[in-house]
Amino acid sequence: MIDIIKLLIYILPAYVANATPVVLGGGPPIDLGFHWLDKKRLYGDGKTIRGFIGGFLAGFLVGAIESIFLGGIYLFSGLLLSFGTMFGDLLGSFIKRRLDIPRGQPMFILDQLFFLLVALIFTLPVYPLELIEIAALFIITGFLHVLFNILANKLGLKSVPW
């Protein structure tokens, strides 16, 4: 039987890291305007230094708080989940730029779930999950991602609801 609450507590640093750049982002782009071999921007203006660092630190802080109350494994998994989330988000943008998908345009799965996949890969050696837990996380994350993006759009935090 899956303990959904325990699973959500575990993945919370990734969720916080993924959501924080919407609030704390802005400023210089993380790619500093550089272009890849294909002459396209690495990530684009939507991925910023402040958003990446803010997302990583916010997620890691959640992991640190969890470790105080729930044990030390959450500190390291929080670090890996947060960095994996931010790296996955960058990698997703890199892929979208290569595919000529403009900033702000949706790409199903890549936008909603890729950060989770990369975060889970980062934690695999330390905290491997069962396949049923991974499946549950993908279903829950897909639903929550849509819900919170619509909410962020309604609150004026995002210009598009995806």
Tell me, what's the pLDDT at 74? 93
pLDDT by residue for the chain (162 residues), tens only, comes to 789 999 999 999 999 999 999 899 899 999 999 999 999 999 999 999 999 999 999 999 999 999 999 988 899 999 999 999 999 999 999 999 999 998 878 888 888 899 999 999 999 998 999 999 999 999 999 999 989 889 988 998 888 777
Q: Are 89 and 115 in contact, with CB atoms under 8 Å apart? A: yes
Tell me, what's the pLDDT at 71? 84
Domain edges within the chain: 4-154
